[in-house]
Amino acid sequence: MSTENYTVVIKVGGGEGIDPTMLSKEIAELTEAGTRVVLVHGGSHDTNVLAEALGYPAQTIKSPSGHESRRTDRKTLEIFMMAYCGSVNKTIVEDLRRHGVDSVGLSGIDAGIWVGQRKGAIRAIEDGRTVLIRDDLSGRVESVNGDFIEYLLSTGKVPVLTPPAVTPDGIAINVDADRAAAATAVAIGADELLLLSNVSGLYLDHHDPESLIEQVDADSLDEARSAAKGRMKNKVLAAEEALTGGVSRVVIGSAGVDRPIEYARVQNGGTVFSHGVTA
Amino acid sequence: MSTENYTVVIKVGGGEGIDPTMLSKEIAELTEAGTRVVLVHGGSHDTNVLAEALGYPAQTIKSPSGHESRRTDRKTLEIFMMAYCGSVNKTIVEDLRRHGVDSVGLSGIDAGIWVGQRKGAIRAIEDGRTVLIRDDLSGRVESVNGDFIEYLLSTGKVPVLTPPAVTPDGIAINVDADRAAAATAVAIGADELLLLSNVSGLYLDHHDPESLIEQVDADSLDEARSAAKGRMKNKVLAAEEALTGGVSRVVIGSAGVDRPIEYARVQNGGTVFSHGVTA
């Protein structure tokens, strides 16, 4: 594949045991070859550790449909910003510079890179009862400042992006980073989206490591949708949003292998979503 | 004074009791009037509080000449990044957006905004003896990516900058934010530099609140230099570096008054350094 102006958005998860700086060497190789790279990262494990150390441990919201998400009150959001925007983001940017990459770390708040609406009241199950949570600071990315990201790429930089996002009136909100990465890939017309984390792909039965779904056709996502459980639901949704928005290829793959980018891109590691798989 | 392309660099300190978001409204007014603003901030108090909460309290290095600075080992630097780049920076950026300002928060690491050399071994006094500290991660800004800051300003953004800086080979280093602000003002040809903190100016005798030095001529800085004690030394040095580099006016003023920017700029609050004071 030509690397001329080829653009790839890489999301690396923030789960336990994932060291996002292990992507630095491969990102340096890609940018040297002329590929334009945007890195999006999480930070959930670091946030949990920090929250625990500060005596304000992470809480989970369970929706009536069984979906789990982080409870984000203002104090949690402040701890979240320390971990995601301070610790993880700057450590990655520093390590990329050490590898000769001109990196720029930004949250979705900065320059309005990720703007979205905050959720209204959230229905949650607490002690078996349905309650309404009104002060949760979470939402979904609805627009991306693609011009600014394009400018960074056009001057040879690697943007390193992280939640939170921000509402149009300036309130920081927690958003799903997989879907934010997908929205970013669409906004800048990326060719490829890689979703790398401590799960190595989408499985028909996530208890059976032999049941990896290797290929998914963008036009028949039903099997993938129904196989996805828990956090994998957002990854499949992100893949779908990227494909619908014009991204040619999405890989849900492992961040925990040697050379994870090459593994996902070249060796078809994990689950590859693309158009016309069965053709 | 004309506000057309008029550029002001504002440094707000991170000492106890300073809330940097109280500048947001004035910054919004300035940018609306066409003034280009760069905000540089500290975060020392928040870092101390976080370090204490994490069981790794701040340590101070005392030089043989009596100068005190933060001991910055790697763990301290990581806590520092959480507070400066995560908590303080993003809180300011968010608040500026709430005031309608298109703000972009960046550390000196990002895009190589502040590049400098790390200090070699530091001589310090410990228990009355002189020791050499070899692993301290601190240094001084030697070059500023003015082009990137200019681009941000030219697209109507307010850059919100914070330490750490970075070495040419990609190691994050703690730097003095007053002097980093001065270097930034010089690099972008700013007209004015405001150094706002919880001290309201330079005093002939810092025990005597009546002894404020109101005006300092850029060409006769001896009195100012000898009056400066402790942290004020870096502010006077920053003022000197800015004036030498072409900045017309520097004010060392209070962040703790109503409308601190107007107070420092228009009402000559604090100590004003400029050329030809006695003329």
pLDDT in tens, B25-35: 999 999 999 99
Task: Kindly give, in sequence order, each residue whose CB lies less than 8 Å from that of residue B245, ignoring residues fewer than 6 positions away.
Answer: B182, B183, B185, B186
Residue of A nearest to B115 (CA): A97
Which chain A positions have a beta carbon within 8 Å of B166's beta carbon? Answer: 94, 97
**Which of B82, B151, B157 is opposite residue A82, by nearest beta carbon?**
B82
pLDDT in tens, B200-259: 999 999 899 899 999 999 999 999 999 999 889 999 999 999 999 999 999 999 999 999
Average pLDDT, chain A: 94
Residue A2 lies in a domain: no
pLDDT in tens, A41-50: 999 999 999 9
Q: Is the pLDDT of residue B279 over 70?
A: no
**Which of A85, A97, A157 is opposite residue B86, by nearest beta carbon?**
A85
Which chain A positions have a beta carbon within 8 Å of B54's beta carbon? Answer: 53-54
Matching residue, tokens 């349905």 = A130
**Which of A103, A157, A170 is opposite residue B98, by nearest beta carbon?**
A170
The amino acid occupying position B211 is: S
47-76 of B, contacting A, C-beta below 8 A: 50, 53-55
Total structural domains within chain A: 1
Q: How far is it, in rounded angstroms, from Cα B18 to Cα A277?
A: 59
Q: What is the pLDDT of residue A279?
A: 42
**Which of B53, B100, B107 is opposite residue A90, by nearest beta carbon?**
B107
CB contact under 8 A, B82 and A84: no
Percentage with pLDDT > 90 across chain A: 85
Alpha-carbon gap: B10 to the closest alpha carbon of chain A (Å): 19
Residue B127 lies in a domain: no
**Which of A94, A104, A148 is opposite residue B172, by nearest beta carbon?**
A94
**Which of B53, B93, B100 is opposite residue A110, by nearest beta carbon?**
B93
pLDDT in tens, A154-213: 999 999 999 999 999 999 999 999 999 999 999 999 999 999 999 999 999 988 989 999
- Interface check B151 vs A, CB under 8 A: yes
Q: Is the pLDDT of residue B3 over 70?
A: no
Which chain B positions have a beta carbon within 8 Å of A55's beta carbon? Answer: 53
**Which of B86, B106, B112 is opposite residue A83, by nearest beta carbon?**
B86
- Interface check B153 vs A, CB under 8 A: no
Residue B32 lies in a domain: yes
- CA-nearest of A37, A32, A152 to A104 is A152
Residue B167 lies in a domain: yes
- Interface check A93 vs B, CB under 8 A: yes
**Which of A82, A98, A99 is opposite residue B87, by nearest beta carbon?**
A82
Confidence category of residue B4, pLDDT binned at 50, 70, 90: low
Please measure the distance between the N-terminal and C-terminal CA atoms of chain B and give it in whole angstroms: 20
Q: How far is it, in rounded angstroms, from Cα A71 to Cα A68?
A: 9
Alpha-carbon gap: B155 to the closest alpha carbon of chain A (Å): 10
Average pLDDT, chain B: 94
Which chain B positions have a beta carbon within 8 Å of A100's beta carbon? Answer: 170
A15-19's contacts with Cβ under 8 Å and 24+ in sequence apart are A15/A42, A15/A44, A15/A45, A15/A197, A15/A198, A16/A45, A16/A198, A17/A45, A17/A198, A17/A256, A18/A45, A18/A197, A18/A198, A18/A255, A18/A256
Size of interface A-B (CB pairs under 8 A): 121
Confidence category of residue A118, pLDDT binned at 50, 70, 90: very high
Q: How far is it, in rounded angstroms, from Cα B170 to Cα A99?
A: 8
- Interface check A82 vs B, CB under 8 A: yes
CB contact under 8 A, B86 and A86: yes
CB contact under 8 A, B107 and A93: yes
Residues B237/B226, Cβ–Cβ less than 8 Å: no
Residues A81/A107, Cβ–Cβ less than 8 Å: yes
Q: How far is it, in rounded angstroms, from Cα A195 to Cα B138?
A: 36
pLDDT in tens, B167-187: 999 999 999 999 999 999 999
Q: What is the pLDDT of residue B104?
A: 98
Confidence category of residue A4, pLDDT binned at 50, 70, 90: low
Output the domain CATH number for residue B249. Answer: 3.40.1160.10
Residue range(s) defining the domain that contains residue A48: 7-274
pLDDT, average across residues A252-267: 94
Residue A105: what are its φ and ψ, rounded to 5°?
A: -90, 130
Alpha-carbon gap: A118 to the closest alpha carbon of chain B (Å): 14
Residues B267/B201, Cβ–Cβ less than 8 Å: no
Choose, out of A93, A152, A174, the residue to mutate when testing the contact with B (most B CBs < 10 Å).
A93
Residue A1 lies in a domain: no
- CA-nearest of B275, B230, B89, B113 to B181 is B113
CB contact under 8 A, A157 and B111: yes
Which chain A positions have a beta carbon within 8 Å of B78's beta carbon? Answer: 87, 91
Q: What is the pLDDT of residue B228?
A: 94
Tokens of A36: 């334009």
- Interface check A99 vs B, CB under 8 A: yes
Please report the ipTM that was assigned to this predicted complex: 0.95
Q: What is the pLDDT of residue B2?
A: 47
- β-bridge pairing A192-197 and A7-12: parallel
Tokens of B48: 């101390």
Task: Kindly give, in sequence order, each residue whose CB lies less than 8 Å from that of residue A138, ignoring residues fewer than 6 positions away.
Answer: A69, A70, A72, A118, A119, A122, A173, A174, A175
pLDDT, average across residues A59-87: 92
- CA-nearest of A212, A194, A195, A193 to A203 is A212
Residue B136 lies in a domain: no
Residues B236/B181, Cβ–Cβ less than 8 Å: no
Residue B172 lies in a domain: yes
- CA-nearest of A81, A156, A27, A97 to B109 is A97
CB contact under 8 A, A86 and B84: yes
B152, burial (CB in 10 Å: exposed 0-12, middle 13-18, buried 19+): buried
Rounded to an integer, what is the distance from CA B53 to the centroid of its chain? 25
Residue A74 lies in a domain: yes
SS (H, E, C) chain A: CCCCCCEEEEEECCCCCCCHHHHHHHHHHHHHCCCEEEEEECCHHHHHHHHHHCCCCCCEEECCCCCEEECCCHHHHHHHHHHHHHHHHHHHHHHHHHCCCCEEEEECCHHHCEEEEECCCEEEEECCEEEEECCCCEEEEEEECHHHHHHHHHCCCEEEEECCEECCCCCEEECCHHHHHHHHHHHCCCCEEEEEECCCCCECCCCCCCCECCEEECCCCHHHHHHCCCCHHHHHHHHHHHHHCCCCEEEEEECCCCCHHHHHHCCCCCEEEECCCCC
pLDDT in tens, A122-140: 999 988 899 999 989 999 9
